[in-house]
Structure 1
């Protein structure tokens, strides 16, 4: 049995409830591989799950994504072998660990051109952006696209990828400083949605055309404005609710706002099938290779300092991705 360091949660609460423990790790079962993890990605959903806002069965681990090296292969696994570099983002809770066993069909090989830190920093967020710009609304040259929270991890990738596809990208963010980040990520215009007239500013920035698609991860604070920013027959893709759930409304409102389409997509159903997952990942790797998206690593913390990493995230003390290093 191999030894692993694992972040364990036996109660929900502040960052201090996370405990780094030594645990025995058995050999991988059939269909699994054992990974030595080299870089672990932080996502804000980790805070929600740690605090109990999105409760998990207890005791539990934390974390959704990591990169690492295959150290052992279970029975029946033929597509991977020892020494392969891999990345994952939906292999079950428990990425906060130095080693773990993972189902082989939840892993994708990393090309030599992408290092482990980049992969762990960007993969989950880039896979989210991938289905949004390729499936939810296939972005075309000439589209006007509105990206809320454009300075966030997914928002920056959405903005740069949509720009690379030829769209005019309007971004919103919650402060003047974050608007600068959004512009650096590829937004043609960045608007502070803390200002009362942000909707009017968006419409003016498009010369009244409005947006063919609105990507909204904020929810409560932006959603009704998103409906006003969408062009007739446009799409509002509500893929998150960082400010809380959207208010209840009558579907007739979509007709009144311009016969709009509304969807509430998620990354996991778009990657539930292993073959589709790998094809989507290949699309992400190609976009990274072409420079359409890039990793912005804001902070790195040893796994022993996982509590400090969560505190920095909650205090908005960093910009860019946060990594945990085993």
Structure 2
């Protein structure tokens, strides 16, 4: 493959209107790199953060952190992939919104035949996030209780199923009765409509006043304080996103006052930075999906050229399940 590929770029930070479709150069892979011809691309909140400037980038820059496709060329030193392999990834640097690209190979994973390209594009960033939330952040075991915000979203529906498969009780929150029903269909033990209920009080009621062992919160500013109030003593708050804005600074002494609580702010890309760890995490995710324990629900599909509308819908929280950009 030579020349260029249709690629979504930004030349300045801003709203969805900043997204532009351009012909972007595609070269040959160097050492440790592969060239991948995409079949579908995933859409994630981190893409909006990068576009807006919340997570600044050197511009101009291509966007997108997740996709699936076929390996088209392999650079020197790459041993785990071959030309013709089906593959999927969640990886830096941004640049997945495109027909083809050259990229580092370490976080690109061979995609099992049982998993479609659309599923592969939709599941990697969100599914690997759920893997580290449940297996790499704090010890969780069957019988524990987790509060999960945005339980009907892309990460949330995977988390609901993952928790059920491991005997973990998941209490979700969502913004409508319809979204709550969807979360419960996917394995949530209960789901609270935060638009109509006092969700902190409801969590306390559902746990007989004890609170939950762990909160998993990708919403950020709007839910952070309430999430702390849902934890039992010695509980763990995992803040892993900023959908409502970045969490304000707070007094660490509050954690002592509320029961010697723990707080962490992890990122997926720290967890998958090591090649072996990334491949192992992906193997667990692929196993969950191939076995049917976790089903990847794709509720929104947009052609690559409609990426700006996809961002608008995502930021307006009008999505459920996964959202992908299609190329064919």
TM-score, reference length from structure 2: 0.94
Q: C-alpha deviations, 1:46-84, integer Å up to 9, x for none?
A: 122223333321111100010010111122323221100
Q: Do 2:220 and 2:243's aligned partners in 1 also have CA atoms closer than 8 Å?
A: yes
Match of 2:234 in 1: 233
Runs of 4 or more above 4 Å deviation: none
Q: What aligned pairs does 1:300-315 form with structure 2 within 5 A after superposition?
A: 300-315=301-316
Q: 1:195 Cα shift?
A: 4.2
Match of 2:62, SS state, is coil
Q: Do 1:203 and 1:209's aligned partners in 2 also have CA atoms closer than 8 Å?
A: yes
CA distance in 2, matches of 1:111, 1:296: 18
**Greater alpha carbon shift after TM alignment, 43-52 vs 123-132:** 43-52
TM-score, reference length from structure 1: 0.94
CA distance in 1, matches of 2:84, 2:158: 30
Match of 1:66, SS state, is strand
Q: Do 1:132 and 1:138's aligned partners in 2 also have CA atoms closer than 8 Å?
A: no
Match of 2:114 in 1: 113
Q: Do 1:31 and 1:75's aligned partners in 2 also have CA atoms closer than 8 Å?
A: yes
Q: What number of residue pairs does the alignment pair up?
A: 326
Q: Do 1:211 and 1:229's aligned partners in 2 also have CA atoms closer than 8 Å?
A: yes
**Greater alpha carbon shift after TM alignment, 232-241 vs 175-184:** 175-184
Q: Do 2:45 and 2:243's aligned partners in 1 also have CA atoms closer than 8 Å?
A: no
Match of 2:181, SS state, is helix
1:323 aligns with 2:320: no
Match of 1:47 in 2: 48
In structure 2, relative to structure 1, the CA distance for the partners of 1:248 and 1:51 (3 Å cut) is closer
Q: 1:196 Cα shift?
A: 5.9
Match of 1:142, SS state, is coil
Q: Do 1:219 and 1:245's aligned partners in 2 also have CA atoms closer than 8 Å?
A: yes
Match of 2:64 in 1: 63
Match of 1:203 in 2: 204
CA RMSD of aligned residues (A): 1.7
In structure 2, relative to structure 1, the CA distance for the partners of 1:53 and 1:261 (3 Å cut) is closer
CA distance in 2, matches of 1:14, 1:225: 29
**Greater alpha carbon shift after TM alignment, 10-19 vs 288-297:** 10-19
**Greater alpha carbon shift after TM alignment, 101-110 vs 8-17:** 8-17
Match of 1:187 in 2: 188
User: Unaligned regions of 5+ residues in structure 1, if any?
Assistant: none
CA distance in 2, matches of 1:235, 1:161: 19
In structure 2, relative to structure 1, the CA distance for the partners of 1:243 and 1:315 (3 Å cut) is closer
In structure 2, relative to structure 1, the CA distance for the partners of 1:250 and 1:309 (3 Å cut) is closer
